[in-house]
Every structure is written in structure tokens, then in C-alpha cells.
Amino acid sequence: MGTLGRAAAEMQMKKLTYIGMELQFEWDQVAAFVKQPDGSLFSWRERFACFRHLIYSIVNKTNSDIVLKFDDKEFHWTQNELLLTRLEDEGVVKLVFPLHDEIKRKQLLRNWALNWLDFTWQPIDEIYSYFGTKIAIYFSFLGMYTRWLFFPAVFGLATQLIDFGSLQWLVLPAFFIFVVSWAVFFLQFWKRKNSALLARWGINYSLSEYKTLGNELDSLSYSLADDNVQEKKFADAPDEKRILQRNEWFGVLLRIRNNAIIVLAIICLQLPFELAYAHLYESIETEALRYVLTALYLVAIQYYTRIGGKVSVILIKYENNQGEQSSADSLVYKVFGLYFMQSYIGLFYHASLYRDIMTLRQVLIQRLIVSQVLENLIENSIPYLKYSYKKYRAVHKKKHEKESPAGKSVRLSTRVEKEYLKPSYTASIGEELEDGLFDDFLELTLQFGMIMMFACAFPLIFCFAALNNVTEIRADALKLLVMLKRPAPRAAATIGAWLNIFQFLVVMAICTNCLLLVCLYDEEGKWRIEPGLAAILIMEHALLLIKFGFSHFVPEEPAWVKANRVRYVAQAQNVCSKQLLRSISKLDTKWE
């Protein structure tokens, strides 16, 4: 622990103290800093950062070069050169990555990934300690979302099984109002849970704004340097204001340009493809062939949309985003726009042009079943196939080098070799993102949009989603613990831009379901546009009022979290005031 503490001090790492302020870590003041839920001083992300600092800071401090040998290979380690950098350049070290802790991994397998007794329970604190904040936040959100899905699933099942007699015409409007209220309350209660988790883990989310501001100020300082006014820095207010305004509007124009490229790509390339699929679907009469068509379509569109995602990654690099989080959010919005069109245009086409509710229900069932089966199959089989192929090549190479006799098996000798061959937890649109949660959150948002925007057309869709998510929790856990390398921990206080997308989908659901309800259907399932647009506007405005009104009924953080935050602010002000008074007193003494 002392080694890590000294490394954290060298890195000038910021840690949360018991007065609610993040201060630079000092080993001799260790008692002032908040500990983790498991009693350790550093979180997994902080320990990983310290380990990297230690191994990458090994420098040749001698007065001469050192000759190093490895497998008949000889190279020089020059003065003041980083050892690991030299080893990477020479190909001795291929990759630096965290290993799985076998004891903790097996414990998580037993208590989490293979624990089917409780459908949605998860050891979130243990996940946080092992994987870090971002992955723990994802699984906490997935578990809460799955638990909340059981409420509309039960209501949707009741609408199909119970005959309400003369009140049957009120069932779907009541179900839709319930679903909208459910979604609004779910997102609000998630914000409460998120803030409670951060408080329990000792993460001060309120300081994230200041960190973002710090990134902007760093960017500003570079801009000032380019304009030969670095020596003035922030003393010259007009220059500061001019640079900030220029960077702000230049970034806005870049984002508008890139968004326009994405929109044009959707209209010119993806929209005709989607409409062709919808037309073919209507022309096929055999149900089995429709399933085959849907499967082929989903596989093809997956690769097509990934190309669009890779283009989005390239466009992001040319945007003037302030910080890594701003770039990540911009990428989320662009890629979701592509997948939004891919997932829903066929459904909108069936709903608006054919106005056949039975066909729409069949399409919903096929999309949900086929897409979820394909997603799980691709998500879990591809990493295994990649690992098996790499393992086969490594064993074959080792067997060839050692010239083992025929019939004698050759195996990988160390656990490090085996884990090195496992795929990394990366996004499908670009391995440089090194964040597989991108795909997992995208899958959740697309599912949420489908069940919300077409809730009135097929209330049972919530049952399918709930069952899928129960298996998704265990499948994602197995994927992380067994099939992939242990991901490098990433800092994240919230689910970021994905929360805005969930809220956008709630508004979209109000619009689409109002159309479904107003377009009344007869016994044959053919819709007719009556009673008209007036009912649409009245219902839509009423539900939008419910949506934005209910958002203020539930506070975004629990009372105990708010009380702690207020107390921390008071303590911080008290400490700063005393320190400031001591400094002023010392200055007065010097002047006298």
C-alpha cells in the first residue's frame, strides 16, 4: 500500500476527503481521504493508474547504456530512456493489460454470473471494486431497468388475458398512460439511485463540472499560445472572451457539418434500403420466409450501420470537442441516429402506410425475437471464436518452434498467455474506443425505443423485453468474466448521453402511441383516421404535460445524499476560511 501511496503522490492524484473536497493525495495525510466500500484506500481505477505509473516510470538513471538480452536478441537501454517503452519498441512487450484476479473472478462467477435464483439481484459493490465505476453503473442501470420492466409486463399480460367487457375501449389508453408514467418515474428514480451509488463509493459528481471546465481552460491556454498571447493568459479579458467565443462557434459549426453528413447518409443510402425491406416483407406471404428475410436484413444492416459508426468516429476527430466526455457524447448521438433509422423506419412504414395492426404486431415480434437472438449470438460467439482461433495459432506456432513429436500435445504455459489471446472489451464500430459498454447501452436504448414507441400496438412486448434482460444480465457477466480480457477501469459518474436518449425516446413514444390510439381499427384490423387530428393534439399535449410534470415529483438525489453534500460544503468553507485567516495573519505580521 505504501508503494501505491507514494505513486499516487507522485502523480498528484486527486482524491475525495472526508470534508467533501477533492484534494491532491499526500501519503502522510492518508487518514483525511475517503476509503472504498471494501475498506481499501484506493479504488480499482486508482490502483490501475498507479500500477501503470510505476511500470512506465522505470528509467535508466545510470551514466551509461545498459545492454539487455531476450531470446537471442540484444538491444541497448539508453540513458534516461523508459524501460517499458524500449521493450515495446523491440517487441518484447506486446501489450500491457490487467489480469483477472482468479479468487475474485470465481467468486463473482458463483455469486453473480451463474446465480439464477434471484433474477435481477447483483453484487454492485463487488462489481465496482473489480471492474470500476463505469461497468458497475451499467449493470446497476440494467438491473434496475429489468426490475421495473416487470410492472408494464404484468399490465400488458393482463390486457391480453382479461376481458374488460364494455370498458375494453379504455384499456389501451389506460395502459399507455401507465407506460408513460412508468418511464418517467423510472428515469427519475434511476437518477436518485445513481447519486446514492456515487455517494456510497466516495465519488463527488458535483466536481465533474469543474473537471470539464479545467479541460476547456487547458484548451483555451493552447489556443492563446497559438495566437502568441500565452504570456497574457487570462489577464487580458477581451482576448479571453474572443478566443472562447471563436472556439465555441467553430465547434458548433463543425458539429453541424458532421451531423448534416450523417443525416444525408441516412436519407440517401439507408432510407431506400429500409423501404425496400419493408416492401419485400409485405410481398412475402409465408411466415417462415419473413423470419428468414428479417434475419438476413438484420445481419446486413448491422455491418452497414457499423460502417456509418466508423465514419462517425473519424468525423469526431475533426470536431472541436472539449474533453473526452464531450467527444464520447457527440459520437453517441451520431451513431444512435444511424441505428434509430435502421431499427424503426420499417415499423413506421408499416404503421403509417399499411395501417394493419396485425402485420405491425407480427413485425414487432419478429424484430424483437430475431434481433435479440442474433445480438446475443453474435455478442457471445464472436469473442469465443476469436479466442479459439488465436489460441490455435499460438499453440501451432509453439509446437512448430519446439518441434514437438507427433501425438504430443502442446499447451499455453501461463495464464498471462491465455488472457493475452482473449479479445478486448471494445466497441464494434471501432476498437480504438476500448469501451464495449457502447454496444451494450446501444442495445438497451434500441430495445427501450421499440417497446415504448409501439406499446399500444402490442402490450405483450414488455414481457419479451423483461425475459430478454434477465438473460442479458447473466450473459454480459459471463462475457466479462470468462470470454474477454479484464477491461481497464474507466471513470464515469453517470450513464452520460444515453440518459438524454432515453428521455428523447419517451417523448417519441408519446407521439407515436397517440397516432396508434387515434387511428381506431375495426374487427378486420384495418385502421381508419378518425376522430382526427384534434384528438391527437389533445392527448399528446396532456401526456407531454404528464411527462414533464412527473419529472419534478421525484427529487434527483436522496435526502441523506443532499444532507451530506450540504454538510461537506459547510465543512469545506470552514476549513478554507480558517486557512485563509491564517494566511492573512501571516501577511500582516510580515508587514509590521
Residue 160 banded pLDDT, cuts 50, 70, 90:
confident
Fill in the amino acid letter for 434: E
What are the cell numbers at 340?
434509430
**Predicted local confidence at residue 321, as pLDDT:** 64
Taking residues 80-103, what's their average pLDDT? 86
Fill in the amino acid letter for 441: F
Picking from 102, 134, 141, the residue whose alpha carbon sits closest to that of residue 472 is 141
pLDDT tens track for 131-143: 989 999 999 999 9
Cα(482)–Cα(113) distance, rounded to whole angstroms?
10
**Predicted local confidence at residue 62, as pLDDT:** 84
What is the sign, positive or negative, of the torsion defined by CA atoms of 250, 255, 261, 267? negative
Pairing, β 66-70 against β 73-77: antiparallel
pLDDT tens track for 339-369: 787 777 767 776 666 666 777 777 777 777 7
Q: Is the pLDDT of residue 411 over 70?
A: no
Q: Which residues contact 492 (CB under 8 A, 6 or more apart)?
A: 133, 134, 137
What are the cell numbers at 521?
381499427
**Predicted local confidence at residue 363, as pLDDT:** 76
Q: Is the pLDDT of residue 315 over 80?
A: no
Cα(95)–Cα(436) distance, rounded to whole angstroms?
18
**Predicted local confidence at residue 215, as pLDDT:** 47
pLDDT tens track for 539-576: 777 777 777 777 777 777 787 777 777 776 677 677 67
Q: Is the pLDDT of residue 397 over 80?
A: no
pLDDT tens track for 45-90: 888 888 888 888 888 888 888 888 877 778 888 888 888 888 888 8
Average pLDDT over the chain reads 77
- Which backbone phi and psi does 76 adopt, to 5 degrees? -100, 135
Q: Is the pLDDT of residue 298 over 90?
A: no
Q: Contact at 8 Å (CB) between 180 and 203?
A: no
SS3 label, residue 556: coil
Greater model confidence, 179 or 313: 179
Torsion angle of the four alpha carbons 140, 143, 144, 146, in this order, in degrees rounded to the nearest 10: 150
Helix (H) or strand (E) holding 105: helix 102-108
Picking from 296, 382, 372, 309, the residue whose alpha carbon sits closest to that of residue 340 is 309
pLDDT tens track for 375-396: 777 777 777 788 788 877 777 7
Percent pLDDT > 90 in the chain is 15
SS3 content of the chain, % helix, strand, coil (to 5): 70, 5, 25
Q: Is the pLDDT of residue 181 over 50?
A: yes
Q: What is the largest CA-CA distance in the chain?
A: 98
Q: How far is CA 57 from the centre of its chain?
A: 31
**Predicted local confidence at residue 233, as pLDDT:** 46
Cα(289)–Cα(277) distance, rounded to whole angstroms?
13
Residues facing residue 304 across a β-bridge: none
**Predicted local confidence at residue 531, as pLDDT:** 53
Residue 499 banded pLDDT, cuts 50, 70, 90:
very high
Q: Which residues contact 519 (CB under 8 A, 6 or more apart)?
A: 355, 527, 528, 529
Taking residues 10-30, what's their average pLDDT? 80
**Predicted local confidence at residue 221, as pLDDT:** 46
SS3 label, residue 356: strand
Cα(90)–Cα(70) distance, rounded to whole angstroms?
10
What are the cell numbers at 379?
455478442
| pTM for the structure as a whole | 0.82
**Predicted local confidence at residue 186, as pLDDT:** 94
The burial of 131, by beta-carbon neighbours within 10 Å (0-12 exposed, 13-18 middle, 19 or more buried), is given as buried
Q: Which residues contact 94 (CB under 8 A, 6 or more apart)?
A: 88, 420
Q: Is the pLDDT of residue 152 over 90?
A: yes
Cα(525)–Cα(357) distance, rounded to whole angstroms?
6
Picking from 310, 368, 372, the residue whose alpha carbon sits closest to that of residue 335 is 310
Which span out of 145-149, 219-223, 282-286, 445-449 was modeled with the highest average pLDDT? 145-149
Taking residues 173-200, what's their average pLDDT? 90
Q: Which of 230-239, 474-483, 536-545 has the lowest mean pLDDT?
A: 230-239
Q: Is the pLDDT of residue 433 over 90?
A: no
Taking residues 205-234, what's their average pLDDT? 45
Residue 322 banded pLDDT, cuts 50, 70, 90:
low
Cα(421)–Cα(154) distance, rounded to whole angstroms?
44
Picking from 126, 145, 198, 22, the residue whose alpha carbon sits closest to that of residue 556 is 198
**E-strand stretches of 20-177:** 22-24, 66-70, 73-77
**Predicted local confidence at residue 438, as pLDDT:** 86
Question: Taking the CB of residue 405, how many other CB atoms lie within 10 A of it?
Answer: 7
Taking residues 492-500, what's their average pLDDT? 86
- Which backbone phi and psi does 82 adopt, to 5 degrees? -70, 130
Taking residues 445-469, what's their average pLDDT? 89
The position carrying cell 545492454 is 67
Greater model confidence, 388 or 195: 195
Cα(176)–Cα(181) distance, rounded to whole angstroms?
9
